[in-house]
Structure 1
């Protein structure tokens, strides 16, 4: 799945993040969307590294990763926008460069 395969509302919302993750070798592998509420989940994979970015009630968070992994890097919380999620998420992804 590429950014062009994502539903257009999802691509508009997180397209920049998807491109930044793709530049680091992560590809979107699934997308689930609730059109009535604007919620969605997009799963990303690079080798054994996998996680989802979720928009729920206007908040963003990382899912499908254990709390013990996300909490120390500041990702075990909700973010008010995708831009505030982007920097800590990309730093965490880059720390797994050897994965």
Structure 2
């Protein structure tokens, strides 16, 4: 991927993408150039108009994913708690003790 980046860098400055120019760019950052990789990249980009591809990519609209539907929580009927007065609660306790 680094060699593709180097090729794009050369292209952005209007330089020709050759084996020698790629070697110089890669060497400039302190990396030993891989001759085979350089040949592959130069060969693959020989008939490619990088500027045209970049421009087409800028104009391409990305399709948006459909919005996820919000799940509506079904309201559960909560059982109503009977509210007892203090006297009723005390009467219930007294029944335990006779």
TM-score tier after normalising by the smaller chain length: under 0.3
Looking at secondary structure, tell me which structure has more helix per residue: 2
Higher radius of gyration, 1 or 2: 2
TM-score, normalized by length of structure 2? 0.23
TM-score, normalized by length of structure 1? 0.23
